[in-house]
A and B are shown apart, each in its own frame.
Chain A
Amino acid sequence: MSNKLIDIVNVSKSFGENLVLNDLNLYIRENEFLTLLGPSGCGKTTLLRILGGFESPNEGKVIFDGKDITDLAPNKRQLNTVFQKYALFPNMTIAENIAFGLKIKGKSNTYIEDKIHYALKLVNLDGFNERMPDSLSGGQQQRIAIARAIVNEPKVLLLDEPLGALDLKLRQDMQYELIRLKNELGITFVYVTHDQEEALTMSDTIVVMNQGNIQQIGTPEDIYNEPQNAFVADFIGESNIFSAIMVEDKLVKIQGVKFPCVDTGFGKNKPVDAVIRPEDVDLVKPKKGLMQGIVTSLIFKGVHYEMDVMANGYEWLVHSTDMFPVGTEVGIRVDPFDIQIMKKPESEDAEAVSIEE
């Protein structure tokens, strides 16, 4: 992709005793849909607010298009924010809301009229000009908030959990809408969410954060298929995470059973974490499996069945289109390339490790 638009260099931020961002480094490319993903309190919103100019970092700087904007006031920045709670101005009509930024910039009335018309069309709310915000549904309000931001033609649109307050169906619709908007506008989106599905659906790049540290940066596929540590693996999708021993290259011992795998370079007899996605677990006849277990629960999920299999004292989570009734004895197999081996965190606290890009 194209060149760096925003560069976040060694940014730290704390509120009182509480360290929210810990010496963070990150760059954002032009035209990228970048998502900051993490549980609440991981610092993702704070990072976004630093980008928007509503917070200033204790240390480090923010470079935008080659210029240091760390101390620039929010109203002087070439980026716009879509807030979690829409933040429409309740005392103004929809048209007045959208025109707000343009009027400040001193645009002509015809220009503003055109822009309002264009923006409302873009968010599929044509003809809502004279309505008041409180007469709109949540999804409509959010689309107006987006329209209000994009008429200013920002280089970057910052979105702070914009779909958080919407119901599931609406949320899914809006996800497609956002992707369409991004493609039509051709600008950079920085998106904050704690919803991994949202992140996987929309993003070009996902930044997984925890406790003020970046855990992993990568494409949705990278993040999902090759989580770099147990936190990412656990946070992204469902998974079976085992404490395992790397016997040698391409061989890992899980629950006392040796599984062939594809990873190398961990050394001999080293403790590691092994991640196996539930859909990668193959259930076969007991004798054909590397280990044996008994199905203890069975739930129909629509696309697949979700089963718990008790084997060697551990409950495996399995997604499969084949159905095995509760009580059935089964064998477990895993293809070598479906086992993801990760370094063990040195200690409990170091689970939130800071990693290099």
Chain B
Amino acid sequence: MIKKYIQRFYLLFIIILLYAPIITLMALSFNSSKSRARWGGFTAKWYVRLFQDDQIMTALYTTLEIALLSALIATVLGTAGAIGIHALRRKYRTFMMGVTNIPMLNADIVTGISLMLLFIAFRFSLGFSTILIAHITFNLPYVILSVMPRLKQTNISTYEAALDLGASPLYAFFKVVFPDILPGVSSGFLLAFTMSLDDFVITHFTKGPGVDTLSTKIYSEVRKGIRPEIYALSTIMFLSVLLLLILVNIAPDEKEDRKRILSAATVKRHKISRFLLRKVVPAAMVVIITIGGIFYSTKADRLGGANQVIVYNWGEYLDPAAIELFEEETGIDVVYEEYETNEIMYPKIQSGAIAYDVVCPSDYMIERMIENDLLAEINFDNVPNIKNIGDVYMEQSRQFDPNNKYSVPYLWGTVGILYNKTMVDEPIDSWSVLWDEKYKDSILMQDSVRDAFGVALKYLGYSLNSTDLDELTAAQKLLIEQKPLVQAYVVDQVRDKMIGNEAAIGVIYSGEAIYTQLENPDLEYVIPKEGSNIWIDSLVIPKNAKHKENAEAFINFVCRPEIAKMNFDFITYSIPNEGGRALIEEPELRNSKIAFPDAKELERCETFKFLGDENDAVYNKLWREVKSR
């Protein structure tokens, strides 16, 4: 009796373990609050928004198209290959199987990079087709591997028997061999389909501008936090797979029917439901995917004609409506691609794999790109709207672009302290609060080396670009002292945790701070009196840009006050565009001390500089020591 209960409990436990994550996700997809930590009531709005979101839907259909196409092609090629390998003599067969298996064991990143290098070497322009080729490549071994065992089981003489009875080789193959290996072929197809859906790394390296699969799309949004629409999408995907599995499993088995004696009517009924469940439903899904794919791909602009501008920007850094407006106005196609960090963007520009026209690096990265001669001088005759950019920002830009020749400030912000007014006793104005024993376990630190050291160096009164080993060691000592007080080292979770009242104090970017304040009015942001980091992301034109004039037109367009304002509404990051700021309707935002601090406050702030590889290594070593203590 007890044994029975334990068995049941154990089963339940396993099921909970397996499905808890997916259920959490499904629950969150109905949460009307954007926070992951707070339940804001039931809503279906994310589902509505999902279908209205062209970007996500296009990515979804690109993913499905690539998965379907690559799985299909790989299945055909792989099955033919497996048959060929199977016909080889034992010695060669073993060798060939080894050769085809190696790519499967290869790390994805190696496959991805080598494919990218290959494409670049042969001057393929990276895009939809290169992703497809890459996916076919890595899918092939899976198909071969799942077809091979079936082939080995297949009695070769059935094929010969068919020939013997007068069948042509092709007829014999499709009529006799193929049905026999079909389970292997279809599991190969499904495996390939899933591998393709799953893949991120290889897609990431082989994709071109403007093409995104779901995984690369979601990844590029990680910086701003995953949108609830994605939860809704994941829920739909999970449920469709579940539904499909159930349908296939409840379809009556043909072989079973043959073995049992059934009435003709039952057999007929089973035949019909089998036809519906096994053929009609999957076929309908394929049709939906295809139609949807065509629908969204005509809606979305793929690599168009020659008159285009390829923009490489941070994830969610520009209102899509602004892009549409630009396209309408100028007739120039915008191919828009996103990246997550400067460090991901840099090698792509450096390798020259894709000729981007407009890129938006941060201050220190611009300095590095200028040093490495990767940027083109902007012809400001084509960018008259530069006049809208405030002088103070042009002045700050000189720290990394001394003559203001290469860059146009696009968005900027500061790093400061976000605190919950109800959870602290006194007004906060200093970094020292991060070392206050009172707030043990309610402090959130940024989990990135420069940001963390920046805070410590500034608190000590040094420059946050210090390369002095004594200063750095002092900062490291401070960070180690702070460790016991810190609740967590995080990046974008500061936002959610602060909104959810999970911590009292957090180090945060000003742009995020505005957003958190809208969600939770108890939060307050301050730039500590010791000074902090000011960051500027500026638009630049790479040296190998193919559409430089279009690029300048694009930069001029976003420097327009209305567009700058529109973008501010979209992402709530501070804009350097004075004209744009004047257009902001809500006075509390227009005059927000967070978005637009006084010039005096900014004087205490510095931008990060590129310190060179050696100094980077020193920083990283010291930071590792902090983290591992």
Q: Give the B-binding residues of A (Cβ under 8 A).
A: 52-54, 73-77, 80-81, 83-85, 87-91, 93, 100-101, 104-105, 130-132, 135, 145, 148-149, 152
Contacts and interface: CB of A to CB of B under 8 A. Distances in A.
B158 interface: yes
Contact of A75 (B158, B168, B258): B168
B180 A81 contact: no
A74 B163 contact: yes
B157 A100 contact: no
A161 B618 CA distance: 78
Contacts of A148: 161, 165
A190 to B, nearest CB: 13
Contacts of B176: 89, 91
Given A130-B258, A132-B255, A132-B258, A87 B167 contact: no
Contacts of A83: 157, 160-161
Contact of A87 (B161, B166, B175, B179): B161
A104 B165 contact: yes
B164 A52 contact: yes
Contacts of A54: 160, 163
Contacts of B169: 75
B51 interface: no
Interface in B141-171: 155, 157-158, 160-169, 171
Given A100-B165, A100-B167, A101-B166, A85 B157 contact: yes
B165 A80 contact: yes
28 contacts: A53-B163, A53-B164, A74-B163, A74-B164, A75-B164, A75-B166, A75-B167, A75-B172, A81-B160, A81-B161, A83-B161, A85-B155, A85-B157, A87-B158, A88-B161, A89-B161, A89-B162, A100-B165, A101-B165, A104-B165, A104-B167, A105-B166, A131-B258, A132-B255, A132-B258, A135-B259, A148-B165, A152-B165
Contact of B180 (A74, A90, A104, A131): A90
A84 B157 contact: yes
B304 to A, nearest CB: 49
A52 B175 CA distance: 20
Contact of A88 (B158, B164, B175): B158
A132 to B, nearest CB: 5
A148 B162 CA distance: 10
B163 A73 contact: yes
Contact of A81 (B155, B164, B179): B164
A152 B169 CA distance: 18
Contacts of B255: 132
A193 B577 CA distance: 95
B164 A80 contact: yes
A93 B179 CA distance: 13
Name the residue among B157, B166, B176, B180 with the largest chain A CB count within 10 angstroms: B166
B163 to A, nearest CB: 4
The SS class assigned to the A binding surface is loop
Interface in B168-200: 168-169, 171-172, 175-176, 179-180
Interface residues of B, number: 22
Contacts of A88: 158, 161
A180 B331 CA distance: 87
A73 B176 CA distance: 18
A145 B162 CA distance: 12
A89 B158 CA distance: 6
A53 B161 CA distance: 11
B166 A152 contact: yes
Contacts of B165: 75, 80, 100-101, 104, 148-149, 152
Given A74-B160, A85-B155, A89-B158, 14 more contacts: A74-B163, A75-B164, A75-B166, A76-B166, A81-B164, A89-B175, A93-B258, A101-B167, A104-B165, A104-B166, A131-B258, A148-B161, A149-B165, A152-B166
A91 B180 contact: yes
6 residue pairs, one from A and one from B, having the closest CB atoms:
A101-B165, A87-B157, A87-B161, A91-B179, A83-B157, A74-B163
A160 to B, nearest CB: 9
Interface string B121-156: 000000000000000000000000000000000010
Contacts of B175: 89, 100
Contacts of B161: 81, 83, 87-89, 145, 148
A238 B258 CA distance: 49
A225 B259 CA distance: 52
Nearest to B178: A91
A260 B558 CA distance: 121
B160 A75 contact: no
A56 B169 CA distance: 16
B253 to A, nearest CB: 13
Nearest to A77: B164
Interface in B232-286: 255, 258-259
B102 to A, nearest CB: 28
B268 to A, nearest CB: 14
Contacts of A80: 164-165
Nearest to A90: B180
B145 to A, nearest CB: 23
A172 to B, nearest CB: 25
A87 B155 contact: yes
Nearest to A101: B165
A82 to B, nearest CB: 9
Nearest to A100: B165
A53 B167 CA distance: 13
Nearest to B163: A74
Contacts of B258: 93, 130-132, 135
B178 to A, nearest CB: 9
Contacts of A91: 176, 179-180
Contacts of A132: 255, 258-259
Contacts of B168: 75
